[in-house]
Structure 1
Amino acid sequence: MENHSLLSFIVALLGFLSPSLTKLTPRISFHLGSSGRHLTHFSSHDVSNTTMLLLSQDGDMLYVGARDAVLALDVSHKDAIILRSKLDWSPSDKDLEQCSMKGKRMADCPNFIRVLHFLNNSYIYACGTFAFSPRCTYINSETLEMSIKPDEGRGRCPYDPYQRNTAIIVDGELYTGTVADYRGNRPVISRHLGRRVDLKLDDTLGWLEDPTFISSSFIAEQEKIYFFFSEVGKEYDFIDKFIVSRVSQVCMSDIGGQRTLQRRWTTFAKAQLLCQADNELPYNVIQDIDSLPPAEGAPADDTLFYGIFTSQWSVNSGRSAVCSFRLSDIKTVFSGNYKVLNRDTLQWSTRVQEKVANPGECGLHNASDNALRFVKENFLADESVRSVGKSLSMVSTEHNYTHLTVQRVQAANNRGYTVLFLLTESGYLHKTVLLQSGAHIIEEIQVFERPQPIKSLKLSIPKSVIYVGTSEGVVRVPTANCSFYWTCAQCVLARDPFCGWDPVHRACVEASDTQTNLGQDIDGGHVEGICNSVSVIHRARFGPNKLPAGELVSVSLNEVVRLQCPAVSRLSLQLWERPNSRLSSDLYLNLEDGSLSFVATPATLGHYLCLSTENGYQQIMAIYHVKQRNNAMAQTPISYIQPQTQPIPTTQIAASPGLHTYVRTFSKRPGARQGETEPTLSSRDTQVTTRQMGRNMTLWTEKSRQNETDFQNGESLLLARGPCYLKELVVVSILLGLCFSFLMTTCLYIIKQRCRSRTAPQPGTPTRDPDRRTPVEQEALRGSQFLSNCNGQAPHSGQASGLVCNRILAGYKGHLPNTPI
């Protein structure tokens, strides 16, 4: 109980000391089916659970392990994934019946492929659950046919399709981490298929404690296989079921001991992976891990392992952290001291004792029995493997990451950047670059809509694509999407190591070794120095009597106006400005979506500009001119061109001090030849063409200079001579208050008189007057007459009714027909 109380205090203290986390927001979001992100899908009505992915060396063929089948998909075409061949491998009716008799659901009894690896250049080795009776076989990679009859797969493949496992083939030998019994109570790390003797872990000491296997990796320089998993940490006796993440190793040259540890690993050792930041609780449950080879010319010790971790602590609930571990640190921990296991109590201690042998060292199969007994009892490293820099690479408080793959990308400045592709539980793929200032999520792509219980990622660096295997099919996602960024500013602000701005072709292109003059700023994302453009200067873009053209919005006084401002990215901030005027919070309302709402009055008529600010760079997104509607314009409403679906090249928006900005664009006439454009004219010879660029960017056209001069002079005259209704508004408000007080007093007096007349004795029977009305009916009649006055009928009380009608119109909340939504 004392230990439990101490742990609770520590958890509460560390939770209090944990620093606030910065919210990581993807810059661009692409929903499923979005035209801005091209994805290629493969699915078939008779194929499901396509989650085991194996890519050929040239990247043109993708082998998929599914339910009751193995598929060969041709992925050499850019816009299609073609099914070349299919191997049906399903249990018989008798096998399914036996599976059902074991108490298993029929939905779990098919053959789910869980091991799929190249054995050599000609054959694939595959294993499946096969109705809770694992089977393995050899498959010809060309014809996709079985070469021999399937044999037993116990110890190589799990029984349960939902049981996680890992497998890797090196030099024709299969190294696996899985369970070796039907109930899943015997976890094993074993070697099969080789010319050397098959090996597994010793069963007597509990070398593994209810593990969940995640991944395995081969390090050629060391001739070692590393396994990553999570298990119950028995060395922590202050709490039950405390989960820890582990890395373990075995040597490929191990053949077991001669008398002690016969047919057992003599080189097995394990250590804790500690993903923890200062003054925070550790993220102790590993979800996925991937290796990043060292840079060209760097030693193998610089190999990094990036993993996703979650926490069993309620303080960190709902968070996902990414940590990296260096191979040199793992080697240092394994070459250090080891904990001692008491055989009788199965308790670990850290007492210092004489080292008879070095656990985890290769070549111990020739050691003495005394040395082998020492490594049999001392296989848990005393120290933990800390993450690089003893910090987190990134942490998300909003997304639960389940899978990841990592790639090193060389940018135009010849610097290498680490890019993570993280798959969320909700079905989004996050493309993230790790910077010194922190993680930056370049974009998120929705790859599936409904939750998928089992998923997998496969990265093809030569083809620059990622394959996502789900329960419903396979999705191919290009790693780069440079053509989406249509201006130099957007290309630089993306901070994507894959993309750079080509000043010659004026396009955002994929970075390569041959292009060194591309515009990039991955670390800072500063536009001015790269694009040779000047940011919009606050309050200095309008000269005297020079107002830019924009979309004409005709309104009536006292109507509610809402002006839309398209967002460039989710990291941009939308701001509104007026020439030579301040947007008071008493008159204007800035909405959450970036739009501006206000009531049309003589003081709020005029020009409005929407500015997008991101990373210190400003650009104009929309220009509006709000003008009072006259009778002629009311009869002839301004027409608008519907948004186009095909992208049209545009001019980058930039402004310099003392100049006002014009943005020119034309809509393409239906049936016109390529390159032929036709301007669209509205009423009064004013161009108000609008179009949607497909990237949430709206651009507005320029008027003719003669119309612009007349329009500006009229607008200046309207602003200079416009009447002020402040005094009239005060008088009307006072009159309305007096009228309302008088009306309420009269009603109360009439009701009081009626109550007295009912209780007083009457001299005779009253006669019924068909025209008599009760005070309530009289009041309702007055209300009907009042509404008639508002609809254009003659008022009964002079100007009073007209003032009230205007007050009602001032509260009108309807949308305007010419207001962008």
Structure 2
Amino acid sequence: MSWLVGVSICLAWDFQFALSSGASDAPSLGLTNTPRRVLSPDRICGRLEYPVYQNHTVFFHRDGSDELYVGGTDYVLKINVDDNQVIEGLCYNVVTVIQEFQDSLFVCGTNGYKPKCWKLYSRVHNQSREIVESYEGTGISPFAYTQNSLSLTADGDLYTAAPLGSDGRSLQFRRKAGGRANLWMYDNWVSEPTFVAASWVERKEDPENDKIYVFFREKNSDSSPEADPWVSSVARVCKVDEGGSKRFFQNIWTTFLKARLVCGFPKESLYFNHLQDVYVVQAEDWHNTSVYALFTSSWNSTAVCIYSMAKIDEIFESSTFKGYQKDIPNPRPGTCVKNSRSLPLATVLVIKDHPEMKDWIHSVHHLNPFYISNNNYTKIAVDRVQAADQRIYNILFLATDSGKIHKVLESDSEAFIISETHLSNHSAIHSMRLDTKKKKLIVGFSEQIVSLDLQKCQEYNSSCEECVLARDPYCAWTESGCTSNTSGGIQNISGGETNVCRQTVEGPKSLNRTKRETPSPSPLSSRAVHSVPLDIPFYLSCPIDSYHAAYTWEHNGRSSPCLQMQSSCLHLIPAMAQESYGTYRCVSTERDYTKVVKEYQLTRQPIGEPIRNSSREVIVNKTNDAAVLAPQMVGVIVIMIILI
């Protein structure tokens, strides 16, 4: 394969991005299991469009780095704030692996069904990269991008899962290259696996016990009719494993163990068994490391289950071995030792024939998943955020198959959906990388890459109450408004009650007041005056800025419910009568906060003033927020609202 190195193009992250949202995309009002906010797409930080659609992309990004490497069909794209470089291939090749390995960038691809890898070394001052070595790629890259594969670098070694045959079979997890011996799996350990993720969990105080964890789903060995055909599992191997002796298990893992991951309702024997994605939140003390796993079910629901690494290891260290009836040999199978080639045959035989633990691994919530949704989530990432109260909160970013990102707060074992952001109208998310230092989420589609700022505090900047109701740990109310500088700011992450705003901080738009029986207009509220004739159908509209709030229309001491259409609340007047005139207020109530979102003054139009009122026109005398309707359209709008 030949390559062109150092071809420069101009790439920018600050393109304008616009999209339209259909009525079916709008969450329903008053449901707390829906996103509280739908964020405006024009606030998206930036995007980069591909010249042609990509069926498959892979990302490599170091946390806090300015560089993002994107592998696609016939190219590796380096995106850098300072200098943008493109490395283009001249033959049909889909890049499937990009890893930092042995002081170089290691790139592998399908290479026309003949997998191949290349090492890219930096040239002058890291301005571009040059290929100086190439390698056979079988077992590292799949033969086709549609085949299952994964890769991981850990302490100078390359771990991979990729098929060994062009038909996609013989799929197994291996240590393929590095300073230690190349190892692979015994054939009977897994059945038709799909590998989802791999993670190195480092034990800094005891490096000889470092483990590599592999998450996958496989065919269920239980073939009974009531059993799910697929189960999800986690396997582990010791990083120091060098395989068995020359006589037995040479170049085969001697520490491989696996256990089933349980996500669901054990009492009802109802489980989410299809593992989709995994994100491991590493901690200084490995015992506190958490595993966030995304599952789907046969009844079209998605669940997130959270697992403790300490509990996972407890199962591996204490459970009996499935199907094994004899005394457990010493050292216990799966124990990390300095020289695995000297392990007793009895220990290795248990690994060979009975690698599965009898006990299952339950989530930290045990009796139910952390979060269940009817959304079809495909990717997950988790960030840890220190809020103004000095507590650490976990924020989940869940990607849907329709191009949206849900931002979900984990608070006291409950999920609160902070917001929904629409990134694409017509494609699913291929790749997603979280930069915890820069607080950005990089999302890849078939047609583009989008960089999403996680600290979108300007969305809640209208008042202290709005900032607090967001329950967004990235944002707090200060003298500068709602800002990502949370030190000393006002928040109420756990409850969201706004009485904390009546404290000493007085931002430029803060509404520090005592609660009144009559709600005050919000800073965004304004009074619109309309002159409307008698007997004319008319509607009023106000924007929905929180789908967790309850909206009502108040007029002459009476309240009527909001009629939701997309992201607006409507009030329909079938025919203007004398009592229809006066002041209308659109009022929202959320938790302990009530505000006037919009205010209208309707006055009677003098007799004789001409108006347009053709039966062919849907809307007559339309403004941005109110309109006279053709009579036959009143019923149509009501029907549309019911359907929504």
The answer to whether TM tops 0.5 is: yes
- Mapped to 2, the partners of 1:541 and 1:592 lie a distance apart of 23
Structure 1 pair 54–219 and aligned structure 2 pair: CA distance change class (3 A)? same
Out of 518, 526, 529, which is 2:497 matched to? 526
Partner of 1:4: none
Which string of whole-angstrom CA distances, capped at 9 and with x for unpartnered residues, describes residues 739-767 of structure 1? xxxxxxxxxxxxxxxxxxxxxxxxxxxxx
Question: Given the alignment of the two structures, is residue 382 of structure 1 paired with residue 367 of structure 2, yes or no?
Answer: no
- Please state how far the C-alpha of 1:119 moved relative to its aligned partner: 1.0
Structure 2 CA distance for aligned equivalents of residues 624 and 561 of structure 1:
12
Residue 304 (str. 1) matches residue 310 (str. 2) = no
Q: CA deviation at 1:278?
A: 5.0
- Percent identity between matched residues is 28
Displacement of 1:467 in angstroms is 0.7
Residues 263 and 369, structure 2, Cα contact 8 Å, conserved in 1: no
Match in the other structure for 2:175: 191
Aligned counterpart, 1:140: 121
Matched, 1:231 2:218: yes
Distance in 2 between residues matched to 1:436 and 1:326, nearest whole Å: 16
Structure with more of its chain in strand, by fraction: 2
Structure 1 residues 814 and 371, CA gap change in structure 2 (3 angstroms): closer
Aligned-pair distance for 1:163? 1.7
Partner-residue secondary structure (3-state), 2:318: coil
Counterpart pick for 1:406 among 357, 360, 382: 382
Q: Secondary structure at the match of 2:265?
A: coil
Pick one of 268, 271, 274 that aligns with 1:282: 271
2-structure distance, mates of 1:487, 1:321? 34
Q: Secondary structure at the match of 1:483?
A: helix
Contact residue 519 and residue 594 of structure 2 kept, 8 A: no
Partner of 2:38: 29
Alpha carbons 2:232, 2:273 under 8 Å: kept:
yes
Shift of 1:149: 4.2
Larger helix share, 1 or 2: 1
> Alpha carbons of 1:355 and 1:437: their partners in 2 closer, same or farther (altered >3 Å)?
closer
- Match for residue 468 of structure 2 among 488, 492, 511: 492
In the aligned structure 1, how far is the partner of 2:541 from the partner of 2:71? 49
Instruction: Report if aligned partners of 1:127, 1:135 keep a CA contact under 8 Å in 2.
Output: yes
Task: Indicate the SS of the match to 1:124.
Answer: strand
Match of 2:564 among 592, 597, 604: 592
**TM-superposition CA deviations, 1:510-550 (whole Å, max 9, x none):** 034xx22x1111111111332454476446989xxxxx994
Q: What is the distance in 2 between the residues matched to 1:187 and 1:408?
A: 34
Distance 1:90 1:550, change over 3 A: closer
Match in the other structure for 1:358: 332
The residue number in structure 2 matching 1:12 is: none
1:95-117, CA deviations, whole angstroms, 9 ceiling, x for partnerless residues?
A: xxxxxxxxxxxxxxx31111111
1:607-618 → structure 2 map (5 Å cutoff): 607-618=583-594
Secondary structure of the residue aligned to 1:274 is: coil
Structure 2 runs not aligned, ≥5 long? 1-30, 204-208, 504-511, 613-622, 635-644
Paired residue type of 2:551: Q
What secondary structure, in the 3-state scheme, does the structure 2 residue paired with 1:148 have? strand
Shift, 1:394, TM fit? 3.9
Matched to 1:308, the amino acid is L
Matched, 1:257 2:265: no
Q: Among residues 279, 283, 307, which one is paired with 1:325 in the alignment?
A: 307
> What amino acid is the match of 2:106?
Y
**Runs of 4 or more off by more than 6 Å in structure 1?**
none
For 2:93, the aligned partner's letter is: N
- 8 Å contact kept, 1:560–1:813: no
Equivalents in 1 of 2:112, 2:630: separation in Å?
Answer: 70
Question: Structure 2 vs 1, CA of residues 358 and 425 (structure 1 numbering), >3 Å: closer, same or farther?
Answer: same
Aligned counterparts of 2:394 and 2:151: Cα–Cα separation in 1: 26
Deviation at 1:554, TM superposition (A): 2.1
Is the 8 Å Cα contact of residues 488 and 531 (structure 1) preserved in structure 2?
no
2:528 corresponds in structure 1 to: 551
Unaligned runs of 5+ residues in structure 1 are: 1-21, 77-81, 92-109, 341-348, 543-547, 638-689, 693-697, 699-809, 816-821
2:457 alignment counterpart: 482
Name the residue aligned to 1:777: none
Q: How many Å separate the matches in 2 of 1:154 and 1:811?
A: 68
Following superposition, the deviation at residue 246 of structure 1 comes to 0.9
The structure number with the bigger radius of gyration is 1
Q: Hey, what's the Cα distance between the residues in 2 that align with 1:590 and 1:57?
A: 45
In the other structure, the counterpart of 2:44 is 38
Which amino acid in structure 2 is aligned with residue 86 of structure 1?
A: V
SS in structure 1 of the partner of residue 586 of structure 2: strand
Q: Provide the rounded CA distance (Å) in 2 between the counterparts of 1:422 and 1:253.
A: 35
**Contact 1:558 1:811 survives alignment (8 Å):** no
Distance 2:624 2:109 in 1: 54
2:54 — aligned with what? 48
1:173 maps onto 2:173 in alignment: no
| 1:439 counterpart residue number | 415
Q: Which amino acid aligns with 1:28?
A: R
Shift of 1:339: 3.3
Residue 239 (structure 1) shift: 5.9
- In the superposition, relative to structure 1, how do residues 207 and 129 fare at CA in structure 2: closer, same or farther (>3 Å)? same
Once residues 353 and 290 of structure 1 are traced to their aligned partners in structure 2, the CA distance between those partners, rounded to angstroms, is 36
2:108 matches 1:131: no
Cα 1:69–1:531 shift into 2, 3 Å: farther
What one-letter code is carried by the residue in structure 2 that aligns with 1:219?
V
Contact 1:358 1:375 survives alignment (8 Å): no
Counterpart in the other structure of 1:578: 555
* 1:469/1:287 CA distance change after superposition, 3 Å: same
Matched, 1:372 2:353: no
Does 1:155 pair with 2:155?
no
The 1:812/1:332 distance shift into structure 2, 3 A limit, reads closer
- Conservation of the 8 A alpha-carbon contact between 2:551 and 2:562: no
3-state SS of paired residue (1:529): helix
Secondary structure at the counterpart of residue 253 of structure 2: coil
Is structure 2 residue 503 aligned with structure 1 residue 510? no
Q: Is the 8 A contact 1:250 1:265 kept in 2?
A: yes
- How far residue 628 of structure 1 moved from its aligned partner, in angstroms, is 2.1
2:75 corresponding residue in structure 1 = 69
Q: For residues 531 and 162 of structure 1, do their structure 2 counterparts lie closer, same or farther at Cα, with a shift above 3 Å needed?
A: farther
Residue 442 of structure 2 aligns with which residue?
Answer: 467
What pairs with 1:68-107 in structure 2 (closer than 5 Å)? 68-75=74-81, 84-91=84-91
Q: Which has the higher contact order (CA 8 A, sep 6+)?
A: 2
Change (3 A) 1:428 1:606: same
Letter in 2 for 1:508: C
Identify which of 205, 213, 235 aligns with 1:248.
235
| Alignment partners' CA distance in 2, 1:430 and 1:392 | 21
Between the aligned partners of 1:421 and 1:623, the Cα distance in structure 2 is 36
Task: Report whether the alignment pairs 1:270 with 2:238.
Answer: no
Q: Distance in 1 between matches of 2:330 and 2:536?
A: 89
Distance 1:552 1:192 in 2: 73
* Cα separation, 1, equivalents of 2:64 and 2:496: 35
Distance 1:393 1:416 in 2: 21
- Other-structure match for 2:184: 200
Residues 491 and 500 in structure 2, CA contact (< 8 A), matched pair in contact too: no
Asked if structure 2 preserves the Cα contact closer than 8 Å seen for 1:51 and 1:64, the reply is yes
Across the two proteins, how many residue pairs are aligned to each other? 565
**By how many angstroms is 1:400 displaced?**
0.6
Do residues 292 (structure 1) and 281 (structure 2) align?
Answer: yes
Q: Structure 2 counterpart of 1:255, which letter?
A: E
Relative to structure 1, the CA distance from residue 582 to residue 113 in structure 2 (aligned partners, 3 Å threshold; closer, same or farther) is same
Q: What's the RMSD between the two structures over aligned residues? A: 2.9
SS class of match (1:374) = helix
Deviations along 1:35-61, one digit per CA (max 9) or x if unpaired, are 2x2231112315735621112454111
Q: Normalising by structure 2, what TM-score?
A: 0.81
TM-score of the aligned structures, taking structure 1 as reference length: 0.64
Q: 1:336 to 1:555 in 2, by over 3 A?
A: same
